[in-house]
Structure formats: C-alpha cells, structure tokens
C-alpha cells in the first residue's frame, strides 16, 4: 500500500503563530491541494496527523476544526482526488495524552487503521516535533520549507536521513516521477 502521512498546518495550509482559528484563516499553501489530489489519483493513500491544541486552549471549537477538514476534502475532491484518514490531537501540552506529537500515537492510529507497517512511510512535516514523531515509529522524516520549515532548518541539526523539499508539491513530484 502506498501510504503517505502529512502534518497539516505549515504543510497543507498556511500556519500562524496565532493558530489557525477559523475557516477563513484556513488557506491552502499553493500547490498543496493539487499535490494531494495527484498523489491520490496515482494510488497513494494520503492521511493527515495534526496537533490541534487550539481546541484545548479554547481558541476554536471542534466544529470549526471539522469545517476546515471538510473544506480540505472538498478542495481535493474538486481536483479529482481524495483525502484519507485525518487524525487530530485536540489536547494541550500538559494533558499527558498519547496522541500529541512528538508522541507517535496518531501515526500508530493511522497504521492500525490501514493495517500497515509504518516502517519507511513518509511523514511530511514543517516542525522538529514532526521529524521526532516520524523517528519514533520508523517513518521516513520529511521536512518541507513551508510553514515553520525554514525556522526548523535554521534552528538545529535535522535527524540523520531527513529528506528536505521546498513544499508539498515538490514531495509529490518526487513520488510521482
């Protein structure tokens, strides 16, 4: 099974240090919707694993988060593709949950959902915690320079073997060649 797992904010849509708090603030990164559609039309299953501590912080309700994910599915479907399982962690940093990245609970949930091994599965993120999450379950860490990606690159050495791309469109182009 061709499975790829994406972080959301900073990879699929623009991110903000003030969180993405409304449907209006949910703005796809140029090329990302098309990349997801192209991958899915080529037989890839595209899943999403996203921290959403804004829920626990009371910045936006679950209904707004669900509206954002419905919009994502809508936009990809308009391009003839589809989005697979979207898993979110609504908890805060102090809630001690098992799903908040860099804990790998969401990736494990995706692997179990599709009944596949996560070994070598590309996990595409923009932050260091995404890369850490990938390593925890033997996924292939992939960094994009969108969102917080440039900051992640500048901050510290990346895990050995991390693949680096400008954006999700470049990730898809590599996988589809």
Ligand X SMILES: O=P(O)(O)OC[C@@H](O)[C@H]1O[C@@H](OP(=O)(O)O)[C@@H](O)[C@@H](O)[C@@H]1O
Q: Please say whether the beta carbons of 153 and 162 come within 8 A.
A: no
Tell the smallest beta-carbon distance from residue 113 to ligand X (Å).
Answer: 18
Query: Alpha-carbon distance 52 to 103, whole Å?
Result: 14
Binding mask 76-115 for ligand X (x = CB under 6 A): -----------------x----------------------
Sign of the C-alpha dihedral computed for residues 90, 166, 17 and 137 taken in this order: positive
Active site residue 7: yes
- Does residue 10 bind ligand X (CB under 6 A)? yes
Q: Is 87 helix (H, G, I), strand (E, B) or coil?
A: strand
Could you give the CA distance from residue 47 to residue 6 in angstroms, rounded to a whole number?
6
Any contact of residue 167 with Mg ion (CB under 5 A)? no
167 contacts ligand X (rule: CB under 6 A): no
Whole-angstrom Cα distance, residue 109 to residue 42?
Answer: 24
Q: Distance of CA 155 to CAs 4, 79, 120, 140, 150, Å?
A: 26, 36, 25, 20, 9
**53, 67, 132, 170: which one contacts ligand X (CB under 6 A)?**
53
Determine if residue 95 is labeled as part of a ligand binding site.
no
In angstroms, the CA 173 to CA 35 distance is 8
* 84: contact with Mg ion by CB under 5 A: no
Of 75, 100, 101, 148, the one binding Zn ion (CB under 5 A) is 100
9 is catalytic: yes
139 marked among binding-site residues: no
32, 50, 140, 146: which one binds ligand X (CB under 6 A): 50
Q: How far is the CB of 4 from ligand X (least distance, A)?
A: 15
The number of angstroms, rounded, from the C-alpha of 140 to the middle of its chain's C-alpha atoms is 13
- The catalytic residues are 7, 9
Q: Which positions touch Mg ion (CB under 5 A)?
A: 7, 9-10, 126
User: Which residue ranges make up the annotated binding site?
Assistant: 7, 9, 89, 91, 97, 99, 126
């Amino acid at each position: 099974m061709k499975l790829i797992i994406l972080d959301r904010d900073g990879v699929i849509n623009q991110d903000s240090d003030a969180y993405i708090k409304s449907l209006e603030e949910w703005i796809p990164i140029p090329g990302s919707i098309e990349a997801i559609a192209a991958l899915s039309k080529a037989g890839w299953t595209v899943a999403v694993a996203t921290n959403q501590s804004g829920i626990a912080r009371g910045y936006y309700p679950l209904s707004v988060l669900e509206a954002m994910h419905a919009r994502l599915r809508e936009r990809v479907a308009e391009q003839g593709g589809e989005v697979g399982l979207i898993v979110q962690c609504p908890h805060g940093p102090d809630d001690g949950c098992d799903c908040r990245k860099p804990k790998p609970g969401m990736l494990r949930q995706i692997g179990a959902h599709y009944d596949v091994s996560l070994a070598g599965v590309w996990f595409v993120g923009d932050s260091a915690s995404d890369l850490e999450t990938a390593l925890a379950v033997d996924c292939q860490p992939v960094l994009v320079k969108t969102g917080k990606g440039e900051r992640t690159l500048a901050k510290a050495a990346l895990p050995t073997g991390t693949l680096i791309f400008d954006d999700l469109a470049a990730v898809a182009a590599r996988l589809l060649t």
